[in-house]
Chains A and B, each alone.
Chain A
Amino acid sequence: EVQLLESGGGLVQPGGSLRLSCAASGFTFTRYDMSWVRQAPGKRLEWVSAISGSDSGDSTYYADSVKGRFIISRDNSMSTLFLQMNSLRAEDTAVYYCAKGFSYTLGLLLPFDYWGQGTLVTVSS
């Protein structure tokens, strides 16, 4: 059974940093693209960042809203996805979900067939 378990959320002051983790199990983690998606209160789902599977060289992708501030990475030995969030702003307040691409043979940046339950990040003074 595929499981994605996020951790690392919490309350942080503007300008601060936070590192999110997503522990994956139930599938061959190294093969699949993984993404972070967030949803702020009352807002639509917003894709944040993605990292390709290792067969595609761990390429990384970012939304313009987080480019230069967030860094996505993965540790395949631990089947864990990370999101390092720096220079946090009030508008980064959201529930952050990790999500798994649904195939490793049909290309990069695919839709998501599994999502974690999310971790809440609150940026406030």
Chain B
Amino acid sequence: DIQMTQSPFSLSASVGDRVTITCRARQGISDYLAWYQRKPGEVPTLLIYAASTLQSGVPSRFSGSGSGTHFTLTISSLQPEDAATYYCQKYNSAPLTFGGGTKVEIK
């Protein structure tokens, strides 16, 4: 099974900052990579699929890039409501493995 590794484990940034989260796959998964946001007490929300396609309704400050084994999620200008844990997920084939999550805090 392909493991998904996210970094950093957590980060703290100020409102307006540019934030980048990395997700690495142990083997190539083309662009079969999704990103989710999970706020405390809530279920995950799909942000991005196909590595870079924004899900309907997601603010344009979120963007994704990458292919193969290296992927990034970028928040171009961090907002207070972006405080959450972010997860990547591969879906090229079963199992649909999640990364360990990156907790984003607002300074």
Would A115 and B93 be within 8 Å (CB), given that A44-B99, A44-B100, A102-B55 are in contact? no
Q: Which of B81-107 contact A (CB under 8 A)?
A: 87, 89, 91, 93-101
In the complex, number of A-B residue pairs with CB atoms less than 8 Å apart: 52
Bound complex: CA of A98 vs CA of B95, how far in Å?
16
| Inter-subunit contact B1/A111 (CB<8 Å) | no
Would A44 and B91 be within 8 Å (CB), given that A97-B43, A102-B46, A102-B55 are in contact? no
A111 CB, nearest partner CB in chain B, Å: 4
Bound complex: CA of A110 vs CA of B98, how far in Å?
13
Neighbour of B94 across the interface among A44, A45, A102, A109, CB < 8 A: A109
Interface size counted on chain A using CB atoms at 8 A? 21
Bound complex: CA of A62 vs CA of B94, how far in Å?
7
Chain A contacts for B98, CB-based, 8 A: 44-47
- Chain B, residue nearest A101 (CB): B91
Q: Report which residue of A61, A97, A110, A116 has the largest number of chain B beta carbons within 10 angstroms of its beta carbon.
A: A110
Query: Would you call A93 an interface residue if the criterion is a C-beta within 8 Å of the partner chain's C-beta atoms?
Result: no
Would A47 and B96 be within 8 Å (CB), given that A112-B46, A117-B43 are in contact? yes
| Inter-subunit contact A110/B101 (CB<8 Å) | no
Taking Cβ atoms with an 8 Å cutoff, the residues of A that contact B are 35, 44-47, 50, 61-64, 97, 102, 109-113, 115-118
A-B contact pairs, 16 of them (CB 8 A): A44-B87, A44-B98, A45-B44, A45-B101, A47-B89, A50-B94, A61-B94, A63-B94, A63-B95, A102-B46, A110-B49, A111-B34, A111-B46, A113-B46, A115-B43, A115-B44
